[in-house]
Amino acid sequence: MSRTKSLGLLVALCVIASTATVGAIPSAASNVNEYIVLVDQSRSDAAVDAIEAAGGAILNMNKVGVATVESANPNFATAVRGSSAIVGAALNAGFAQGGTKSAEVPDNTHLQSTEAAACATLFSVSPTTGPDPLGPCQWDMRAINATTSGSYAVNRGLGARVGVMDTGVDLHNGDLMPNVDLAASCVFIYSTTPTSLPQEQVTRGSCSNKAALQDYAGHGTHTAGTVAAPINGTGVAGVAPRATIVSLKAGTANGYFFTDSVVDALIYAGDQKLDVVSMSFFADPWLFNCRNDKEQKAIIQAISRAASYAQQQGVVLVAAAGNEGIDLNHPVKDEISPDFPPGAAVTRPVNNSCVTLPTEISGVVVVTATGAQNLLTWYSTTGMLTDVTAPGGSRYQTPTFNSSRGRVLSTYSSTALDLADEAAINRLVVDPAGNYYAWLNGTSMAAPHAAGVAALIRAAHPGMSGGAVASALRRTATKMPCPTTHDPGVEFFGVPLQICTGGTGSNSFYGAGLVNALAAARD
């Protein structure tokens, strides 16, 4: 989620801007398209016959009955839907692009020591606050009691395995990789995946290409660090600093998460029986998928099948609410879809038959975002479907205005396409070992905080069901009433002021409340 698409203001839900360019490279057979086809699993043979009769070639058929199909028939989707053995079909476009890697530390990158000192002054804390050097900057961890005297003294997440479904990880970041299970991590980006770099692409069904996990967006490295950056004497510490990260790379360098990648990653998470999966994105190309549209309905069904499979294996799915600053219970219009191919977006009316994925899948833990004053951030999407809230960051909630440090500081990738841009706007930090950190904000940043707390619960109760973990996450949250004031970013950006509904511990802004790592660790 490293572009301004996800969930309104950003792809995988992080409010940052990328200057990376996208260049389409036509395939040799430009008339061949790729499709996602849902089959009736009780009639698989008939479904295969229908796909072939419609001019399709099956590339892959997974265990939940979602097939990836190629066809040169421009009417393939319509033709295959004519079979009663087919549940639905949707187009999945594809192209590739080139990329660059930063060879030097960008100008204006802040040193770890000077950044920590500046944070200590801004937040009125000791320069030695926190177990690691950038602790003074981690207002977010203090807000949820993930501190040396808080949850770190009780439960650090040992034994929990957290999938971070995102844009990969920086394989060179020494403040993250000690907690990454490289053997279990897997890539779900293919040669036909829109906006993918050649070096990200893998053979479908194989997890052997570990180099492809490298993060060219930065977003995945950031969210993974929030979940479980270790306490190791440098940089930052995560919510669950002894938990294990399993990187599920389903997002491209430009932060797009397409249906087949999301479906495959969810099924893999279930196969691995991961404890928790953090999801900071919406599934492209539609912010809202509407059930009255055959193609969008097929996308809903495909991702829902895969999510249900993961949940049946005990996986707790945690998702960012979104950055559109709207009430998901009362959606009115979608102005950014489809976000692929570039320039295709149209403004269209939407209603409650239209859903954002994976956020609105049944059983998914939905997380809104707060700033350093514990107010809902100006960009956060809300709704009575909110389970909990967590730090996402806002520059307008620091004790004194600060254009960068009100965001969330976490690990960042040395190969992020926007590395120099982050430095230019004073949001990039480097430690003495050359590991990068960046200040980002978005509900993308909130979801991994909640996922980290869920990991603490699973670490303490390994046999607890997914539903019980989600209930414990809500039960241990710090109850918050509807606020009497709001994030000043509302006026600055001129966004509509949302109205909070509900009472303390159950409202549209904060759900059951602000996640509490210490209370969850003790639960």
- DSSP conformation class of 50: H
Alpha-carbon distance of 216 to 232, in angstroms, equals: 25
pLDDT band at 96 (very low <50, low <70, confident <90, very high): very low
Residue 29 in this model has a pLDDT that exceeds 70: no
Residue 94 in this model has a pLDDT that exceeds 80: no
Token reading at 326: 């709207």
**Alpha carbon distances (Å) from 21 to 93, 98, 182, 418:** 18, 9, 30, 11
Question: Structurally, how many domains does the chain consist of?
Answer: 1
Domain range holding 285? Answer: 110-344+353-477+491-522
Q: Does 36 reside within a domain?
A: no
Q: Are 177 and 214 in contact (CB under 8 A)?
A: no
What are the b/e assignments for 162-180, b being 16+ CB within 10 Å?
bbbbbbbbbbbbbbbbebb
Alpha-carbon distance of 109 to 247, in angstroms, equals: 27
Q: Are 276 and 160 in contact (CB under 8 A)?
A: yes
Q: SS3 of 139, please?
A: helix
* Average pLDDT rounded to a whole number, residues 55-74: 92
Token reading at 26: 């036509």
Considering only CA atoms, which of 144, 132, 123, 254 is closest in space to residue 189? 254
Q: Does 90 reside within a domain?
A: no
Q: Does 89 reside within a domain?
A: no
Q: In this predicted model, what pLDDT tens digit does every residue of 99-124 receive, in sequence order?
A: 344 458 999 999 999 999 999 999 99
Token reading at 365: 């833990």
Q: Does 6 reside within a domain?
A: no
Q: Between vectors from CA 214 to CA 364 and to CA 168, what angle results, nearest 5°?
A: 5
Alpha-carbon distance of 512 to 510, in angstroms, equals: 6
Q: Are 262 and 301 in contact (CB under 8 A)?
A: no
Alpha-carbon distance of 273 to 268, in angstroms, equals: 8
Residue 39: what pLDDT? 93
High-pLDDT (> 70) share of the chain, %: 92
Q: Does 438 reside within a domain?
A: yes
Residue 276 in this model has a pLDDT that exceeds 60: yes
Amino acid, single-letter form, for residue 136: P
Alpha-carbon distance of 408 to 388, in angstroms, equals: 18
Residue with tokens 């549940």: 87
Residue 7 in this model has a pLDDT that exceeds 90: no
Largest separation between any pair of C-alpha atoms in the chain: 70
Alpha-carbon distance of 442 to 323, in angstroms, equals: 6
* Average pLDDT rounded to a whole number, residues 36-63: 93
Q: What's the CATH number where 201 sits?
A: 3.40.50.200
Residue 103: what pLDDT? 58
Higher pLDDT pick, 20 / 181: 181
Q: In this predicted model, what pLDDT tens digit does every residue of 134-182 receive, in sequence order?
A: 999 999 999 999 999 999 999 999 999 999 999 999 999 999 999 999 9
Q: Does 45 reside within a domain?
A: no
Q: SS3 of 481, please?
A: coil
Q: Does 48 reside within a domain?
A: no
Residues 6+ apart with CB under 8 A from 153: none
Calculated CA dihedral for residues 306, 312, 315, 317, nearest 10 degrees:
50
- 475 membership: H or E segment, kind and range: helix 466-475
Considering only CA atoms, which of 245, 267, 243 is closest in space to residue 188? 267
Q: In this predicted model, what pLDDT tens digit does every residue of 468-502 receive, in sequence order?
A: 999 999 999 999 999 999 999 999 999 999 999 99
Token reading at 4: 């301004």
This prediction's pTM: 0.90
Q: Does 97 reside within a domain?
A: no
What Rg value do the Cα atoms of the chain yield, rounded?
22
Amino acid, single-letter form, for residue 469: V
Residue 213 in this model has a pLDDT that exceeds 60: yes
Alpha-carbon distance of 410 to 239, in angstroms, equals: 11
For residue 503, how many other CB atoms are within 10 A of its CB? Answer: 10
* Average pLDDT rounded to a whole number, residues 448-474: 98
Residue 95: what pLDDT? 28
